[in-house]
Amino acid sequence: MTPLATGLKGRSELGVALLLGAAGVVVFLDANGLVTPYSKSDPVGPKTVPFIVAGMLVACAVLLAINVLRRGKGEAEGGEDVDLTHPADWKTVLPLAGAFILNILLIDWAGWVISGTVLFWGSVLALGSRRYIRDGLISAALSLLTFYGFYLGLGIALPAGLPEGIL
């Protein structure tokens, strides 16, 4: 391993510093691009606060990077159902995100009843349930119930989509 690679190992937190820095630069560039004539009624203008925020983000990025290189470490958050003894389980998280994205793609076209079913079913499977049929029935029931509940109870019309004539 090169010295650089060894230095970076276990320092994934540097990515956070990078993100903060990038956010700072974006905020700065965006504010810098605003064209505002000086106005007496608004001496601060729309640029000042973004500049301060950008400065703060970049400063945090630099300090965090130094902190991490000096072996500083953010403490991962615990919780009732959180078991920090095992590493992040990407085999659960990525399919979850997949179900979520599928829902975004489907919701306007296929409607909430279908996309919501996909979301819940996919999430339950991703989280390790293996009772496919029962899970599917529950997912469909939940989506239908929320669809009608929102429509009749709250007056919010979720998209009906493909099964429009039936619902």
Partner 1 sequence: MDVWSSLMDGFATALTPMNFLYAMIGVILGTAVGVLPGLGPAMTVALLLPVTYALEPTSAFIMFAGIYYGGMYGGSTTSILLNTPGESSSVVTAIEGNKMAKAGRAAQALATAAIGSFVAGTIGTALLAVCAPIVVKFAVSLGAPSYFAIMMLALLAVTAVLGSSRLRGFASLGLGLAIGLVGMDSVTGQRRLTFGQPLLADGLDIVVVAVAIFAVGEALWVAAHLRRTPLHAIPVGQPWMGRSDWKRSWKPWLRGTAFGFPFGALPAGGAEIPTFLSYVTEKRLSKHPEEFGKGAIEGVAGPEAANNAAAAGTLTPMLALGLPTNATAAVMLAAFTSYGIQPGPQLFESQGPLVWALIASLFIGNLLLLIINLPLAPLWAKLLQLPRPYLYAGILFFATLGAYSVNLQAFDLVILLILGALGFMMRRFGLPVLPLILGVILGPRIEGQLRKTLQLSAGDPAGLLGEPIAVGIYVIIAVILLWPFAFKLIRRNTPVAAPAGGAAALAREADDAVHSNHDAVYSDHKEQP
Partner 2 sequence: MTVVVGYVPTPEGEAALTQAITEARKNNSTLVLINSSKGEAAVDTRFAPEGGVQDIERRLAGEGMQYVIKRPVRGHDAASEVLDAAEEHKADLIVIGLRRRTPVGKLIMGSTSQRILLEADCPVLAVKAG
Residues 92-121 touching partner 2, rule: CB under 8 A, are: none
Per-residue binding letters, 75-104, with partner 1 (x by CB under 8 A): xxx-xxxxxx-x-xxx-xx--xx-xxx-xx
Binding partner 1 by CB under 8 A: which of 11, 25, 50, 160?
50
Residue 91 binds partner 2, judged by CB under 8 A: no
Encoded tokens for 141: 């029931």
Residue 129 binds partner 2, judged by CB under 8 A: yes
Q: How far apart are CA 66 and CA 64, in angstroms?
A: 5
Q: How far apart are CA 42 and CA 113, in angstroms?
A: 50
Give the DSSP H or E segment for 126.
helix 112-126
Q: How far apart are CA 113 and CA 161, in angstroms?
A: 8
Min separation Cβ 162 and partner 1, Å = 15
Residue 128 binds partner 2, judged by CB under 8 A: yes
Q: How far apart are CA 153 and CA 69, in angstroms?
A: 55
Q: Which residues bind partner 2 (CB under 8 A)?
A: 80-81, 128-131, 134, 137
